[in-house]
Amino acid sequence: MKYSKLFPKTLKNAPSGAQSLNHQLLVRGGFIDQLMAGSYSLLPLGWRVYLKIENIIREELNKVDCQEMLMPLLHPREIWDKTGRWSDPAVKEIMYQFKDIHDREFGLSFTHEEIVMYILGKFVRSYKDLPVLVYHFSTKFRNELRAKSGILRGREFIMKDLYSAHTSEEDMWKWYEVIKDAYLKIFKRVGLDVKVVEAAGGVFTKGHTHEFQAFTKNGEDTIYFCEKCDFIQNKEIFEGKTGDKCPRCGGEIKVSSSIEVGNIFPLGTKYSNALGVSYQDEKGEKQEVWFASYGVGMTRLIGTLVEIFHDDKGIIWPNSVAPYMVHLIGLDLQDAKVVAEAEKVYKLLQAEGIEVLFDDRIGVSAGAKFADADLIGIPYRVVISKKTGDKLEVKKRSDKETEFKTLDQLIEILTSR
Amino acid sequence: MKYSKLFPKTLKNAPSGAQSLNHQLLVRGGFIDQLMAGSYSLLPLGWRVYLKIENIIREELNKVDCQEMLMPLLHPREIWDKTGRWSDPAVKEIMYQFKDIHDREFGLSFTHEEIVMYILGKFVRSYKDLPVLVYHFSTKFRNELRAKSGILRGREFIMKDLYSAHTSEEDMWKWYEVIKDAYLKIFKRVGLDVKVVEAAGGVFTKGHTHEFQAFTKNGEDTIYFCEKCDFIQNKEIFEGKTGDKCPRCGGEIKVSSSIEVGNIFPLGTKYSNALGVSYQDEKGEKQEVWFASYGVGMTRLIGTLVEIFHDDKGIIWPNSVAPYMVHLIGLDLQDAKVVAEAEKVYKLLQAEGIEVLFDDRIGVSAGAKFADADLIGIPYRVVISKKTGDKLEVKKRSDKETEFKTLDQLIEILTSR
């Protein structure tokens, strides 16, 4: 992609309302645009990051026999009435509910437990039909009273939600571990060090659940953890304070701010019973279906990456999710020879399957181009100018030093990763 | 994918309410499930078809410098008020509009002209910022009075919508032709013979627009066309009847039923003026932005393919969008030797990058497995049984004859396409 054609360009200043760091950097870099409080467009650069993450999740979930599908966003009240959640005050606070011109009541999806269970009810008859593990990437709506924290907490956002149905509690827990492992692989691949934390179930279940938390300075959540063992709980359920003895091993309890990027809910039989979904076992006897759900906030994950991977100049994307791998900068582009060389490098890198953003603007200073590259945060900055001759000036976004490399050397570095 | 694990299985009977052929076959084959009138889930098989189509469109649009992004679905009334469409009776009939608990008014996206123009207004300043061509695959909501025709006309569906902004009418028409060509390539790649038809602009523009129409027996639209020249108009605007003389060449006018799978709207300056979006030309003078929009109904396209490609036994997917390329059927699976051979073929085909649905069910008759394969409509049916020995029994879904091939021969056929 030539930067001259990229929509839109970077912005010099963050919008006045942008308090959180992820919001500021993502808006300035041209990754997102705010439509209203808590609602953002993913602009072309941001959408590329999104697709990278989506693809990693798809690969890891498909590996463990999860099946992708897509469920509707507009839900009839009747199905939500079956679990009683339609009228639950905690749900009514966050679910957009409205009537159409025929006075039929609808809600906008803030989650899909009821809907997936309704669908399962049409198809699950026998133990042979289980387990089922289905997921989708889909829009969620939550009428947040105070939408804040940039794309960490939106009124409209994308979530990957996975639902699993089982013949027994034992099978549910078995798959619960399989998915937990898949999640840990996903977070590792996108570049995050994530911890599995015990937490409250909120509007989903009265039992405890597990959250995937990324420790960072400006997180919404507070996590208490033992410095010695793997005891780790969300503030919501932790009974104690920093410096206390760990209830499990006696080690010291510490505290960290963090961001929740995923969660898993072992929901048991509540939803299947409410929707009347059961199965016949080998003996022909009717049995309860066990159920769990698992979520990853997609747009939130992008915001989390920015909160963690940045410096005072801009974003530093992990390679696996970067919108492009190389930010090629042409300087002295009044010179036809430099233009020809830059165009050649641009094409040859792409021919090797390397994704390149090529800053081909004429009349923009080197300083401005470097500042844009730092802000956008693509892993490798490659400069071609009158001075670079038959070499390329290469700098990793995460490093300070520049090095001179031949094109072949650069390709070698980028394709051997 | 092993058929034993696929969610869900085929259904013997179409649901009682399913009148249209695409609805019947897609539900019976396990591609879609109806949540309520006009609203469907795309089940795993259907989602695979969807992703194939999405990828073809993405490839063709990116080739001509279109940039993918994602815009929100929940729209504030204020932006829609700028064009007056919020209060337009024709819009109010199809747009879901509601108030949240704070009495703020929102609408659900049935299209995105206002929103994309609002975003363009934040970034477009100079002629250097144009043209912009951005698109997204996103959910659309239309409060259809009578949702019918299966997934051809839904209350909730996926659309690929593309928007282009230009410095002049001339540039708009230039790109209009580029996108028209890209659309024709897209439809050809998904297997459809599509005609570009003149039509009315509906709630988008008072001028004429172009529709991409696929002729078929059970279409919603009626198209009048000249048997000699390329005169071709939708019934909405055609003034005449079958047998009339073509107003352009004097040839005979004929009629066909057809399905609209895409449309393009040369919208001019109406939207940019309403949203106050302009640009400065080379001389620093303020100029009007020219605008067009282009849509492909994604779920509708799936339904259209089924309406056109089927026989009395089920669907016949074009190779390019088939959920899998090979439907591998194991018979006599009580025999461990046959199981081992089938598993081997399953793995070797996948190792060649060939997508395989493997019917591994034990205790299901050959007849039932063949019927399922015909219903699902995967291009190649490959049978392994006690009788097939070191060969495979291969049948194309679109042919009647079976042939015996070695695995190598089959791989050769499938990978040389």
Interchain pair A41, B69: CB under 8 A: yes
B62 touches chain A (CB under 8 A): no
Closest CA–CA distance from residue A197 to any residue of chain B (Å): 31
pLDDT(B69) > 80: yes
A340-344 long-range contacts (CB < 8 A, ≥24 apart) are A341/A384, A342/A384
Higher pLDDT, B204 or B277: B277
Tokens of B188: 């050809």
CA distance A162 to chain B (A): 13
ipTM entry: 0.96
Where is pLDDT greater, at A202 or B106? Answer: B106
CA of A277, closest CA in chain B: separation in Å? Answer: 15
Out of A14-18, A110-114, B72-76, B292-296, pick the least confident: A14-18
pLDDT at res. A409: 97
Contact B44 A100 (CB under 8 A): no
Q: Which residues of chain A, if any, have pLDDT below 70?
A: 147-149, 204, 417
Say if residue B410's pLDDT is above 80.
Answer: yes
- Is A334 an interface residue toward B (CB < 8 Å)? no
Rg of chain B on CA atoms, in Å: 25
Confidence of residue B378 (pLDDT cuts 50, 70, 90): very high
Shortest alpha-carbon distance between residue B357 and chain A (Å): 13
Q: Give A-chain residues touching B76 at CB under 8 angstroms.
A: 35-36
Q: Supply the DSSP symbol for B289.
A: P
Pairing relationship of beta strands A380-384 and A392-396 according to DSSP bridges: antiparallel
Asked if A7's CB is within 8 angstroms of B67's CB, the reply is: yes
The answer to whether residue A59 neighbours chain B at the CB level (below 8 Å) is no
Contact A5 B72 (CB under 8 A): no
Contacting B residues, span 206-245, partner chain A, CB-CB under 8 Å: none
Of A50, A73, A123, the CB nearest to B8: A123
A124: distance to nearest CA of chain B, Å? 8
Task: Please identify which residue in the block is written with the tokens 């979904």.
Answer: A277
Is B306 touching A (CB cutoff 8 A)? no
On whether any CB of chain B is under 8 Å from the CB of A69, the answer is yes
Residue A6's contacts (CB-CB under 8 Å, 6 or more residues apart) are: A30, A44, A45, A357, B67
Q: Give the A window 265-284 contacts with B, CB below 8 Å.
A: none
Q: Do A70 and B8 touch (CB under 8 A)?
A: no
pLDDT number for residue A417: 62
Retrieve residue A261's tokens: 């990027």
Is the confidence at residue B3, as pLDDT, over 90? yes
Tokens 């949702």 belong to B147
> Which pLDDT does position B36 carry in this prediction?
93
Span B112-149, pLDDT tens digits: 999 999 999 999 999 999 999 999 999 999 997 776 66
User: Nearest C-alpha of chain A: how many angstroms from B50?
Assistant: 10
Span B287-314, average pLDDT: 97
Domain boundaries in chain B? 21-311, 324-415
CA distance A235 to chain B (A): 30
Examine the pLDDT at B255 and tell me if it is beyond 80: yes
This prediction's pTM = 0.97
**For tokens 């760990």, what's the residue?**
A246
pLDDT of residue A147: 61
Rounded CA separation B11/A240 (Å): 55
Surface-to-core class of residue B347, CB atoms within 10 Å of its CB (0-12 exposed, 13-18 middle, 19+ buried): exposed
3-state helix/strand/coil string of chain A: CECCCCCCCCCCCCCCCCCCHHHHHHHHCCCEEEEECCEEEECHHHHHHHHHHHHHHHHHHHHCCCEECECCCEEEHHHHHCCCHHHCHHHHHHCCEEECCCCCEEEECCCCHHHHHHHHHHHCCEHHHCCEEEEEEEEEECCCCCCECHHHECCEEEEEEEEEEECCHHHHHHHHHHHHHHHHHHHHHCCCCEEEEEEECCCCCCCEEEEEEEECCCCCEEEEEECCCCCEEECCCCCCCCCCECCCCCCEEEEEEEEEEEEEEEEECHHHHHHCCEEECCCCCEEECEEEEEEEEHHHHHHHHHHHCEECCEECCCHHHCCCCEEEEECCCCCHHHHHHHHHHHHHHHHCCCCEEEECCCCCCHHHHHHHHHHHCCCEEEEECHHHCCCEEEEECCCCCEEEECHHHHHHHHHCC
User: Strand runs (DSSP E) across B2-54, as ranges?
Assistant: 32-36, 39-42
Q: Do A67 and B128 touch (CB under 8 A)?
A: no
Residues in chain B, overall count: 417
Q: Say if the Cβ atoms of B42 and A69 lie within 8 Å.
A: yes
Q: Which CATH number fits domain B21-311: 3.40.50.170, 3.40.50.10480, 3.40.50.300, 3.30.930.10?
A: 3.30.930.10
pLDDT at B102: 83
Arithmetic mean of pLDDT, B193-207: 83
Predicted pLDDT at B18: 79
Using CA atoms, how far residue A149 sits from A18, A144, A301, B72, B137, in Å, is 8, 12, 13, 18, 26
DSSP B86: G
CA B330-B333-B338 angle, to 5 degrees, is 75
Q: Where are the alpha helices (DSSP H) in B82-168?
A: 89-94, 113-123
Please compute the mean of the pLDDT values over residues B250-255 and round it to a whole number. Answer: 95
Task: Name the residue among B9, B33, B98 with its Cβ closest to that of A98.
Answer: B98
How far is B399 from chain A, CA to nearest CA, in Å? 30
Residues of chain A with C-beta less than 8 angstroms from the C-beta of B100: 96, 143
The residue of A50, A55, A67, A117 whose CB has the most chain B CBs within 10 angstroms, and thus the best one to mutate to test that interface, is A67
Pick the closest to residue A310 from A264, A375, A233 (CA basis). A375
Nearest CA in chain A to B99: A98
CA B306 vs CA B7, B233, B298, B356: distances in Å: 20, 24, 13, 21
**A74–B68 C-beta distance less than 8 A:** no
- Pick the residue from chain B with its C-alpha nearest to A164: B7
Q: In chain A, positions 86-105, which contact chain B (CB-CB < 8 Å)? A: 96, 98-101
Interface of A with B in 364-403 (CB under 8 A): none
A64 and chain B in contact, CB less than 8 A: no
Q: Crossing angle, helix A21-28 and helix A298-308, to 10 degrees? A: 100
Mean pLDDT taken over chain B: 95
**Neighboring chain B residues of A100 at a CB cutoff of 8 Å:** 96, 143
At residue B293, the pLDDT reads: 97
Contacts with A, B 11-40, CB within 8 Å: 33, 35-36, 39-40
Q: Which of residues 118-147 of A touch B (CB under 8 A)?
A: 118-119, 122-123, 128-129, 132, 134, 136, 139, 141, 143
Say what the pLDDT of residue B151 is: 78
Mean pLDDT over residues B236-259, rounded? 94
Residue of B130, B171, B176, B164 lying closest to B279 (CA atoms): B130
Asked whether the beta carbons of residue A155 and residue B75 sit closer than 8 angstroms, the reply is no
Min Cα–Cα distance to chain B from A156, Å: 7
Across the interface, whether the CB atoms of A72 and B156 are under 8 A apart is answered: yes
pLDDT at B346: 98
We find that the CATH architecture of domain B324-415 is 3-Layer(aba) Sandwich (3.40)
**The length of chain A, given as a count of residues:** 417
Q: Chain A: nearest CA to B21, how far in angstroms?
A: 21
Whether residue B201 contacts residue B207, with contact meaning beta carbons closer than 8 Å, is answered with: yes
Residue closest to B257 by CA, chosen among B152, B146, B144, B110: B152
- The alpha carbon of residue A180 is apart from the nearest alpha carbon of chain B, in Å, by 21
Q: Would you state the pLDDT for residue A242?
A: 95
- Given a cut of 80, is residue B326 above it in pLDDT? yes
Number of Cβ pairs closer than 8 Å across A and B? 129
Q: Which of B74, B96, B289 to mutate to test the interface with A (most CBs of A within 10 A)?
A: B74
CA distances to A158, A288, B43, B76 from A141, in Å: 9, 31, 22, 14
User: Omega into A131 within 30° of 0, i.e. cis?
Assistant: yes
pLDDT above 90: residue B205: no
